[in-house]
């Protein structure tokens, strides 16, 4: 059995979702979101996110982590801030020596729904189908569970590729 945490980084809200994988079976463990104080300076907000993600990692003790790659939009400042939040989030599992896999948004959607350009409502529906006991606390935590599911589907191929690269 392997425990995976999916992380959906954001400066205001960072979603997280934890699943256990037993062979091909996916088992819901927990989901939620951490938040930063919008009135605080950027450095403090990043620290808030990082500290809260560390606490989630400590509580659920995942074996592996997966995170969504940064979505680049036309607002360069917003993209940069998202990248900084993503760095703060990625640093948390890395500090526990937990491997962090990265997935493009379209890859997550394709893994969960079967279509890379699926709508959020379709992703939510399929997460609920794949994890019927999931509470889906927020859109951010639903996305994080989708990222964890994506990693569960791709982890064995990634492990094999890493072994082959070392030989």
Question: Which of 8, 20, 31, 143 is the catalytic position?
Answer: 8
Question: Which of 31, 64, 140, 143 is the catalytic position?
Answer: 140
CA distances from 73 to 48, 80, 82, 84 (A): 25, 10, 10, 15
Beta-sheet pairing, 13-22 with 25-35: antiparallel
Give ∠ CA 45-48-54 in degrees, rounded to 5.
Answer: 145
Tokens describing residue 1: 């059995």
The verdict on whether 140 is a catalytic residue reads yes
Question: Which of 20, 31, 68, 143 is the catalytic position?
Answer: 68
SS3 state of residue 102: strand
The verdict on whether 63 is a catalytic residue reads no
Helix (H) or strand (E) run with residue 7 in it = strand 2-8
Q: How far is residue 26's CA from residue 12's CA, in Å, rounded to a whole number?
A: 29
Catalytic residues: 8, 68, 140
């Amino acid at each position: 059995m392997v425990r995976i945490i999916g992380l959906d980084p954001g400066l205001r809200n960072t979603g997280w979702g934890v699943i256990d994988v037993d062979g091909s079976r996916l088992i819901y463990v927990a989901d939620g979101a951490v938040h930063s104080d919008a009135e605080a300076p950027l450095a403090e907000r990043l620290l808030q996110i990082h500290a809260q993600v560390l606490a989630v990692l400590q509580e659920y003790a995942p074996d592996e982590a997966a995170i969504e790659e940064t979505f680049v939009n036309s607002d360069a400042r917003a993209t940069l801030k998202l990248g900084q939040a993503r760095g703060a989030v990625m640093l948390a599992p890395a500090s526990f020596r937990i491997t962090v896999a990265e997935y493009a948004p379209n890859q997550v959607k394709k893994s969960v729904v079967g279509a890379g350009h699926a709508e959020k409502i379709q992703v939510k529906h399929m997460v609920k189908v794949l994890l019927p006991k999931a509470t889906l606390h927020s859109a951010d935590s639903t996305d994080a569970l989708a990222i964890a599911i994506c990693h569960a589907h791709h982890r064995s191929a990634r492990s094999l590729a890493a072994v082959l690269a070392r030989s």
